[in-house]
Amino acid sequence: MIINTGARTDTAQWYAPWLLNRFEEGFVLVRNPLYPHKVSRYELDPSVVDCVVFCSKNYAPLLPQLHRITSRFNTHFHYTITAYGPDIEPEVPDLEESVHTLYDLERLVGAQRICWRYDPVLLTGTYTIERHLQTFSWLAERLAGHVDRCIFSFVEMYQKLEHNFPELEPISPEDRDRLAAGLGAIAARRNLRIQTCGNNGVWSQYGIGRSACMTLQMLGAANGVTFKDLKHLGQRAGCGCFRARDIGAYDSCPNGCRYCYANRDHAKALDNYLHAHDPQSPLLLGVLSADDEVTSAKQQSLLLRNDQLSLDIPM
């Protein structure tokens, strides 16, 4: 199975001690977001966890001890670096710092395990198409050769964004086409592979690959292993990713990104981080109660073993 550590919260930046403790103890507990008293237990063991996928906007807090995970598990890293400043991403490092932290990560894990995420692409009076293309070009110049690929997506207009982000401007089909053409051309000049994420249209005419941010082929190639030929159901419409199990929790990321889908509001997330998190707890937030029902999750390896691989080799 695939474990994801960062889709619901930026675990690497804010919860690194907890994450390291979980891998040290060999298990983690995760509450069901819809049924909070139902808790799943996942064994963090290489015999059943084929790859650990990280998603973060700042890996610096985790880097000094990252070897405690990478020495035992296959890994893959999504690193989000965008054009936005603290007006949109309040607790995210600036561009220069982010780029240098990515270089530090590359020295530890290699470029083939890193995807640079430039998303979501959104428009405001400050963050125009021209500014996106200028910043993307600046970043591509510095990141090409240090990452395996770039993945981008256009912002999804969730209803809560109307309240949290009123200055957000709609992105017209013409805007999308202009942005996709520009991003594709910049990536081509830098020999940087680029693809979309989610249901963001088809832009193959601009050299942009289809949506599939986390495939077994990608994870296998990055780690030198072979996965079974399994169907990729995706996480949502238009998604070609393989399903992963997220060990984080919603309403727990203090980054404060105004486009965030995982936090209902920044104040609640910050309060949970400050008052509901114990680095020693098997749960990211809170502790088990008498009403909780803990169930061991079904886990099995997806890797193609040597004896299975030999069956495909002509004698």
**Which tens digits make up the pLDDT trace of 192-211?**
999 998 766 789 999 999 87
> Region 88-117: what's the mean pLDDT?
98
Among 238, 281, 236, which Cα is nearest to 261's?
236
What's the pLDDT band for 246 if we cut at 50, 70, 90? very high
Kindly tell me if the per-residue pLDDT of 309 is higher than 50.
no
Token digits of residue 187: 């990536």
Identify whether 90 is preceded by a cis peptide bond (ω within 30 of 0): no
% of the chain surpassing 90 pLDDT:
82
pTM (two decimals): 0.93
Choice among 111-125, 136-150, 300-314 with the minimum mean pLDDT: 300-314
Query: Is 83 in contact with 127 (CB distance < 8 Å)?
Result: yes
Kindly tell me if the per-residue pLDDT of 107 is higher than 90.
yes
Kindly tell me if the per-residue pLDDT of 307 is higher than 60.
no
Q: Give pLDDT, residue 237.
A: 58
Kindly tell me if the per-residue pLDDT of 220 is higher than 80.
yes
Kindly tell me if the per-residue pLDDT of 146 is higher than 70.
yes
Kindly tell me if the per-residue pLDDT of 308 is higher than 70.
no
% of the chain surpassing 70 pLDDT:
94
Average pLDDT in the chain: 92
Among 198, 196, 122, 199, which Cα is nearest to 161's?
122
Query: Is 4 in contact with 246 (CB distance < 8 Å)?
Result: yes
Kindly tell me if the per-residue pLDDT of 26 is higher than 80.
yes
What's the CA angle centered on 59, arms 42 and 40, to 5 degrees? 15
Kindly tell me if the per-residue pLDDT of 234 is higher than 70.
no
Kindly tell me if the per-residue pLDDT of 310 is higher than 70.
no
